[in-house]
Structure 1
Amino acid sequence: MTASREDFEQRLRAIGAARYHDLHPFHDRLHGGQCTIDEVRAWVINRYYYQHSIPMKDAAFMSRVESPELRRIWRSRMEDHDGKDGNEGGIWRWLRLAEAVGLDPDYVASCQGVLPATRFAVDAYVRFVREKTLLEAVAASLTELFAPKIHANRIEGLLKNYAFANDSALSYFRHRLQEAPKDVAFGLSWVLDHADTQERQDMAANALIFKTDVLWSQLDALWAAYVTPARIPPGAWQPDTATTLAAVR
C-alpha cells in the first residue's frame, strides 16, 4: 500500500535517524577533540575525495535529465562546489581547511593518499547516480536532510578543541549551513512528488539507505587505518611525510 506523502517523509527521516554517519564513533572522537592531528589530516584527505567527486556526480545526473527546468535548478549544486562569480566554491574551501591542518593542498587535491575503501565507496556513489533512475539519484542526495546538525556540531567542536580551527579554516561548513537547505528542500519535494507508488517509495528509501552506507563505510575505513588497529593500506597517506607543511598541534 502506498504511504501518504507525510508518512513517506517520516520513513525517509527515520532512515537518517538510524543510519546517518553523525552516529559514527569517529565523529564523536573528532568533535570531542580526541583526534590526533594526524587523524584529522587523514579525515581531511579522505573526505576531500568525496567533496571533489560531488560535482562529477551532479554532472552525471544532469547529463541524463531532459527537463531544462530541472537541470537549471540542479546546476547550482555544481556551482556551490566548483565556484562561480566570486564564490570560490566548496572544493577550494576544503583545500583551505587542508592547509590549516598542515597539509600541502596540492597533495590533497591530487587524491594520491586516499584510502582504497574511500575511493571504492565514493566511486560507487557516482556510478549509482549515473546508472540508476532519476528518482533513486535524487533520493540518494537526501542525506543532506541530516547534514545541518553535523555541520553545526563540527563547527562548535573544532573551534573548541583544535588550534587550527578558525573562521577561514571552517568556512566550508558555515557555507553549507546556508547552501544545503535550499538543495534539500527541492530534492525532498521532488522525491515526494515522484515516489507515487509503493514500488517507487521503496526504491527511493533504498537509495537513501545506500547513500548512508557510502558515508558510513568511509568512516569505518578511516577508523581502521588511522585509529585502531591503525593498519594503513599500501598507497594510502602515511603520517610524518613530506605532504605536511609547518607543524600544527
Structure 2
Amino acid sequence: MTEPAARGTEDFTAALHAHADRYWHKHPFHLRLHRGGLSRPELRQWIANRWYYQKCLPQKDAAIIANCPQADVRRRWVQRITYQDGTADGHGGHAQWLDLAEAAGLTRAEVLDERHVLPGVRFATDAYVTFARTRPWTEAVAASLTELFSPGLMRERLAALRTHYPWIAASGHRYFTVRPDAAASDASHALSLVTAHCTTRERQEAALAALAFKCDVLWSMLDAIEHAGRAG
C-alpha cells in the first residue's frame, strides 16, 4: 500500500496549531487560578509541583541535543538549557521560579527537596523526559510545540497573579514577565524545524502524535494537582 502523500507545509502547520484545543489552558484548575479561585495552599502546591516540571526541562532538552546529529540544530537548541539553568546560580528561569515560590510563602528548601511533588506530576513529567530520550529528536521537538500556545496563557496568568493574589510579592512575577517573548521565539524555531524535517506523511503524523502526547502530559499534571486539592 502506498503511503499517503505528505501534507503541504500550510496544512501541516495548521494541523499542529489545531492542538491548541487540547492545551491545558482550558483545564478546570487553570480556570480557577485565573478567576482568583485558588486558596493559598492550592496555589503553593501548584508552584511546588510545577517546579518539578521546570527542573526537568533542561534534561529533556539535553536528550534532544544528544539524539540530534545536526550541529546547527544543537547550537540553537542548547540555548534552552542556558535559559532555564542560567549561566550562574541565581540566574535563569529556574531562579525566577524559585523567586516565585518564596514570594508565595514557600521556602526554597521545601521546593528543592520536592516534598510536595505529587506522584502523578512526577510520573507525567518523567514520561515526557523519557519520550525525549527514546524517540527521534524531531518528535521530541514537535512535543515542545505546546509553546505555540503558552505566551498568551502566561500573560493571562501574570494579570491574574497581580489582580487576585496580591499577597504574592511582585518579586515573584519575573518569570511570567520575561518568559512569553522567549517562549514565542523558541516555538517559532521549533516549528521551523518540524516543518523542515518532517517531510513525509509518516513523520508528520508522528509529530502530531508527539504534540498530542505533550498536551496529555500537561493535562495529567493538572489533574493530579486538582485532585490533591480537593482531597486536601
TM-score range, shorter chain: over 0.9
Instruction: Verify: 1:11 aligned to 2:15, yes or no.
Output: yes
Instruction: Verify: 1:191 aligned to 2:194, yes or no.
Output: yes
Structure 1 contact 159–166 (Cα < 8 Å) conserved = no
Q: How far 1:174 moved relative to its partner?
A: 1.2
**Equivalence for 2:98:** 95
The 1:65/1:2 distance shift into structure 2, 3 A limit, reads: closer
Inter-partner Cα distance in structure 2 for 1:97 and 1:169: 4
Instruction: Verify: 1:55 aligned to 2:47, yes or no.
Output: no
Q: What count of residue pairs does the alignment treat as equivalent?
A: 228
Q: How far 1:166 moved relative to its partner?
A: 4.6
Structure 2 contact 84–94 (Cα < 8 Å) conserved = yes
Secondary structure at 1:168 match in 2: helix
Inter-partner Cα distance in structure 2 for 1:41 and 1:167: 15
**Equivalence for 1:244:** none
| Unmatched runs of 5 consecutive residues or more in structure 1 | 232-249
Instruction: Verify: 1:84 aligned to 2:87, yes or no.
Output: yes
Aligned runs of 1:1-249 on 2, under 5 Å? 1-16=5-20, 18-84=21-87, 88-226=91-229, 228=230, 230=231
Amino acid at match of 1:15: H
Inter-partner Cα distance in structure 1 for 2:112 and 2:196: 38
Q: How far 1:178 moved relative to its partner?
A: 2.2
Inter-partner Cα distance in structure 1 for 2:179 and 2:150: 9
Question: Matched residues, percent identical?
Answer: 44
Q: How far 1:64 moved relative to its partner?
A: 2.0
Secondary structure at 1:63 match in 2: helix
Q: How far 1:28 moved relative to its partner?
A: 1.0
Q: How far 1:216 moved relative to its partner?
A: 0.2
Q: How far 1:87 moved relative to its partner?
A: 7.7
Q: How far 1:167 moved relative to its partner?
A: 3.7
Q: How far 1:194 moved relative to its partner?
A: 1.1
Q: How far 1:85 moved relative to its partner?
A: 6.3
Inter-partner Cα distance in structure 1 for 2:52 and 2:156: 22
Comparing 127-136 with 158-167, greater Cα deviation is found at: 158-167
Structure 1 contact 26–219 (Cα < 8 Å) conserved = yes
- For residues 63-115 of structure 1, give each alpha carbon's deviation from its aligned partner in whole angstroms, at most 9, with x where no partner exists: 22222211110011001100126981011110111001111111101112200
Structure 2 contact 132–140 (Cα < 8 Å) conserved = yes
Q: How far 1:177 moved relative to its partner?
A: 1.3
Structure 2 contact 131–140 (Cα < 8 Å) conserved = yes
Secondary structure at 2:171 match in 1: coil
Secondary structure at 2:87 match in 1: coil
Compute the TM-score of the two structures, normalised by the length of structure 1.
0.88
Structure 2 contact 89–95 (Cα < 8 Å) conserved = no
- For residues 197-248 of structure 1, give each alpha carbon's deviation from its aligned partner in whole angstroms, at most 9, with x where no partner exists: 111110000000000000000000001111x2x15xxxxxxxxxxxxxxxxx
